Amino acid sequence: MAKRRSKTREKLTYKASGVDISANDRMVEKIQHAMRHTYGPRVLSRAGAFAGLMRLDFRERLLKRHYRDPVLVAGADGVGSKLLLGLEHNRIRGLGVDLVAMSVNDVLTIGAEPLFFLDYVACHKLEPDRIAEIVSGISDGCRQAGCALLGGETAEMPALYAPTHFDLAGFCVGVIEHRRIIDGHRHVEPGDAVIGLASNGLHSNGFSLVRKAIRPRSKKSRLAAERLLGEPLAEALLRPTRIYVKPILKLLASYRRKRVIRAMAHITGGGLADNLLRVIPKDCDVHLSRKWPPIPPIFRLIQKCGVSKKEMDRVFNMGIGYVLVVRPAFAESILRRLNRLGESAYRIGTIRRGQGRLLRRG
């Protein structure tokens, strides 16, 4: 009689199931410098802590903000399908800047100072060098916004994400004195001036449409596109979103006693109409002027690929990335201040009594 051979069952491990804890430990070591690069004196660094710590104010008397009635402001966002273009062109560091920008610019619209940022990176396989590059981009964005990268989470999920793919989400917390909260629904009035700050291109919205519209089928068509753009196509598509925090906070600091800035809007998906109308009273209209700042060439290219002007305005920022509604008597001085701070700022319209519409002249 033949003897039955006993089969030794292989021991299951986390690594065999697709998750490498050792790779996570190597990744944590690689990103420590990028995180510490964003720390200021308010951050309480604790090695190995399960959560980040940050003081609301400075200990040093010279730097104290003296908050009497502080309100915390929070925002969360992602990068969307711009990630796919970043992967396609192997340009992922700038996506970290995009991630920060989408949240800190939103928090800024209340008038808040961004305090700290947390990130969430989900991927098919944890590659320490690759994750470190993404986190370095997040660190770049945090330094531009003057906030601390206080922590984050990396999830390795091979069953959920395709090989090489990853997703990003970010969370920002800021603070503002209660009496300084910017609430356009309470303070915007007919006659107020609308000031637009230039974008540097697409920022991080509308990329599902962008990817469908811009698909050069040949070297000839790609070169034609780049002649229109005046730069490589990847450069125009993947330029990181502008972060408006530092110049706007400096502007707000110039008007601590007077409520000069009535409302602010971050122009993202939905374009100027959706994002500006949400921060003004329902009985007001926005009348845009005939004069308009230069529209980045990437928008002309997308429209040339078959997207209507109406759809362009509905989806993209069209050259205006951030908007302020201000008291008319201060409009010119605010324009001068913003331009001195390095912004390209334009007076693009006026608030009038109406029915919650955005109206274009000419």
What CATH number is given to the structural domain containing 335?
A: 3.90.650.10
Which of 180, 201, 235 corresponds to the end of one domain?
180
Query: What pLDDT shows up at residue 41?
Result: 87
- Which tokens is 164 given? 């090489």
My answer on whether 309 and 329 are in the same domain is: yes
User: CB 251: neighbour CB atoms within 10 A?
Assistant: 20
**209 in a domain, yes or no?**
yes
Cβ–Cβ < 8 Å for 221, 305: no
Is 258 a member of any domain? yes
Do residue 270 and residue 346 come from a single domain? yes
pLDDT of residue 7: 52
Residues of the chain with pLDDT under 50: 1-6
Does residue 348 lie in a domain region?
A: yes
**27: nearest Cα among 123, 164, 165:** 123
Domain that holds residue 170: 21-180
d(CA 224, CA 284): 43
> What pLDDT does residue 230 have?
94
Does 171 reside within a domain? yes
pLDDT at 4 (0 to 100):
45
Number of domains in the chain: 2
Residue 256 placed within a domain: yes
User: Is residue 351 one of the residues assigned to a domain?
Assistant: yes
Do 174 and 75 share a domain, yes or no? yes
Give Cβ neighbours of residue 202 (< 8 Å, ≥ 6 apart).
Answer: 82, 210, 236, 237, 239, 298, 299, 316, 317
Q: Which CATH number covers residue 35?
A: 3.30.1330.10
For residues 160 and 282, state if they share a domain. Answer: no
Note whether residue 193 is domain-resident: yes
What per-residue confidence (pLDDT) applies to 62?
A: 64
With 0.85 as the threshold, say if the pTM is over it.
yes
pLDDT of residue 346: 96
Domain finish residue from 125, 152, 180? 180
Looking at the structure, tell me whether residues 52 and 169 fall in a common domain. yes
Same domain, 232 and 352: yes
Dihedral sign from CA coordinates of 209, 278, 114, 330? positive
- Do 33 and 123 have their domain in common? yes
* One domain for residues 188 and 110: no
Q: Do 204 and 236 share a domain, yes or no?
A: yes
**Predicted confidence (pLDDT) per residue in 273-332, tens digit:** 999 999 999 999 999 997 788 899 999 999 999 999 999 999 999 999 999 999 999 999
Q: Which amino acid is at 315?
A: V
Q: Could you say which DSSP state residue 180 is in?
A: G
Tokens of 153: 């989470």
Both 228 and 332 in one domain: the answer is yes
- Which helix (H) or strand (E) segment is 77 a member of? strand 70-78
Q: What is the pLDDT at residue 1? A: 45
Q: Indicate if 86 and 29 belong to the same structural domain.
A: yes
Same domain, 88 and 122: yes
In a domain, 1, yes or no: no
Among 180, 203, 228, which residue terminates a domain? 180
